[in-house]
Amino acid sequence: MKRFFLSLIIVSTCCLSASAQNANIKRIGETTYAVGCYARPFEFDRIMQHAAGNDLFWDWAACIQMALNYGGLFVTQDQVMSLVNGSIDDPIGTPQDLIVSANKTTPHDWSSKDAKIYTAAATIDADVVFDELSAGRPIIVGTRRQGEEGRAYILTAMTYTINRDAGGQQTGITPATVVLRDPWPNALANRTVNWVDFVPITASLYTVKVVFK
């Protein structure tokens, strides 16, 4: 939390553009900002459809792939799918098991770079989203489906306003919108969703971090 408010202090007090301090933060109004994957281009991918089906697995695999690729570890959806049981045609468990399987893995055969992947479930909270996006890490979103996780999206940006008390001191932020990328075939690739609409449809958030050795 201290790191979060330190970032906000830097953004609000600097007389230069916010992007001069952090390329992932943009000032879009007097008290309104956007935080997201802005430091470098985000590579979007659709899911790979296979004759065996399992499109929901590929949905999650595509989001994990995009998160890892943005983190500098370039992988394929086949490699992500193989994490569960080594088979891309008949995966076992649930699509969310891909997230668990990826955690703390060191995929030497995936890349010439020596790296370790860290994934974790996160609280559906604006502070968490800010911290991850300001660090240049997109977030995987699991949607609600009859009380469980269904579709997956990747969250790449959030707009927000800075809150102040009567004395002008910062008291936090109020999220306004989020940008979701949808890898499903023929779906709208990029959609902006109001925060108040985003929270009810979200079952979970997952952070993805790549650490190079």
> Domain ranges in the chain?
2-212
pLDDT of residue 141: 96
Query: pLDDT 10s digit of each residue in the chain, 213 long?
Result: 545 444 544 444 443 344 458 999 999 998 899 999 999 999 999 887 665 567 888 899 999 999 999 999 888 888 888 887 777 777 778 888 889 888 988 776 666 678 889 999 999 999 999 999 999 999 999 998 765 678 899 999 999 999 888 888 888 899 999 999 999 988 899 999 999 999 999 999 999 999 987
pLDDT of residue 13: 43
CATH for 2-212, options being 3.90.70.10, 3.30.70.141, 3.20.20.100, 3.30.365.10 = 3.90.70.10
pLDDT of residue 148: 60
pLDDT of residue 50: 63
The answer to whether the predicted template modeling score (pTM) of the entire model surpasses 0.75 is: yes
Q: Are 126 and 158 in contact (CB under 8 A)?
A: yes
pLDDT of residue 111: 64
